[in-house]
Amino acid sequence: MCERKFDSPDLTLDEMFRNWPETATVFINHGMLCVGCPIVAFHTVADACAAYDLDIIAFKALLRRAAAGSSPEISPDLRSPPSGEDPSP
């Protein structure tokens, strides 16, 4: 099996945690129980964001920063806005 790139939509969380272990902190900081979960071999970032109702674009930006070596931060609210609702303040 070839190694997938960080931004591959098919990258499983298991592959992410093995290749970029610093990304696990982002999940932990957001109260996600993905680290150590038996389904990480099958779930992607999109799956995890859907399960936790998080904004995938904002979450992936945090993962990229962590993978690049920046200190992971906790965003105040990454929850996705309800369908049909304007996300602007």
Per-residue pLDDT tens digits for 26-84:
999 999 999 999 999 999 999 999 999 999 999 999 999 999 987 666 665 666 556 65
Is 62 a domain residue? yes
Domain range for 41: 13-67
Kindly give, in sequence order, each residue whose CB lies less than 8 Å from that of residue 59, ignoring residues fewer than 6 positions away: 26, 30, 45, 49, 78
Question: What's the whole-model pTM score?
Answer: 0.77
Is 83 a domain residue? no
Is 78 a domain residue? no
Predicted local confidence at residue 70, as pLDDT: 77
79 DSSP β-pair partners: 54
C-beta separation of 27 from 47 below 8 A: no
Is 75 a domain residue? no
Is 44 a domain residue? yes
Q: What confidence tier does 7 reach under pLDDT thresholds 50, 70, 90?
A: confident
